[in-house]
Amino acid sequence: MFIAIFVGFAIVLLGLIAYQSSIQIQREQLRDVQREIVQIRLLSSQSGVRAVAFAVQRLADRPGPGIYYLGDPTGVMIAGNVTDFPATILADPGRYELNYERGREIYGGPEDEVPTSGTAIVESLELPNGLRLVIGRDVGERRGFNAIILRTFFGGAIGIIVLSVLAGGLTARYVLRRIDAITGTSTKIMSGNLSERVPVTGRNDEFDAVATSLNAMLERIERLMVGLKEVTDNVAHDLKTPLTRLRNKAEAALRNPDPEARRTALETTIAESDQLIRTFNALLLIARAEAGTSTGAFSDIDLSEVVADVAELYTPVAEDAGMTLETDIAPGIRLDANRELIGQALVNLVENAIKYGQNTEGGGISISARREAGRIVIEVADKGPGIPEADRARVFERFARLEASRTEPGAGLGLALVSAVVRLHRGDIRFEDNAPGAKAVITFPAN
Domains 2-145 and 299-445 are alike in CATH topology: no
Which residue has better confidence, 33 or 145? Answer: 33
pLDDT of res. 229: 74
Element (H, E) at 255: helix 240-255
Given a cut of 90, whether residue 56 has pLDDT beyond it is: no
Among 225, 218, 221, CA closest to 200:
218
Q: Are 249 and 268 in contact (CB under 8 A)?
A: yes
- Portion of the chain with pLDDT greater than 70, in percent: 85
Calpha distance 82→70 (Å, rounded): 9
Query: pLDDT-derived band of residue 370, with 50, 70 and 90 as boundaries?
Result: very high
Which residue has better confidence, 16 or 358? Answer: 16
Calpha distance 317→321 (Å, rounded): 6
Report the pLDDT averaged over residues 6-33.
82
- What SS3 string covers 228-239? HHHHHHHHHHHC
What is the chain's mean pLDDT, rounded? 80
Span 233-280, pLDDT tens digits: 666 666 676 778 778 878 887 887 888 877 887 888 888 787 777 767
For domain 299-445, the question of CATH label 1.10.260.40 is answered with: no
Identify the CATH class of 2-145. alpha beta
Given a cut of 80, whether residue 352 has pLDDT beyond it is: yes
Beta strands in 262-415 (DSSP E): 299-302, 324-329, 334-337, 364-372, 375-382
C-alpha torsion sign, points 86, 90, 96, 97: positive
Element (H, E) at 428: strand 428-433
CA 328 remoteness from chain centre: 46
Query: pLDDT-derived band of residue 287, with 50, 70 and 90 as boundaries?
Result: low
pLDDT of res. 377: 93
Calpha distance 223→123 (Å, rounded): 90
CA angle 361, 363, 365 (to 5 degrees): 165
Given a cut of 60, whether residue 111 has pLDDT beyond it is: no
Query: pLDDT-derived band of residue 441, with 50, 70 and 90 as boundaries?
Result: very high
pLDDT of res. 309: 92
- Portion of the chain with pLDDT greater than 90, in percent: 8
Q: Are 234 and 399 in contact (CB under 8 A)?
A: yes
Report the pLDDT averaged over residues 415-442.
86
Distances (CA, A) of 155 to 14, 21, 148, 160, 162: 10, 17, 10, 9, 11
Given a cut of 90, whether residue 114 has pLDDT beyond it is: no
- Between 127-136, 287-296, 437-446, the lowest mean confidence (pLDDT) is in 287-296
pLDDT of res. 113: 44
Calpha distance 248→230 (Å, rounded): 27
pLDDT of res. 344: 85
Angle between helix axes 2-46 and 49-60 (nearest 10 degrees) is 150
pLDDT of res. 383: 85
pLDDT of res. 411: 57
Domain layout of the chain by residue ranges: 2-145, 239-291, 299-445
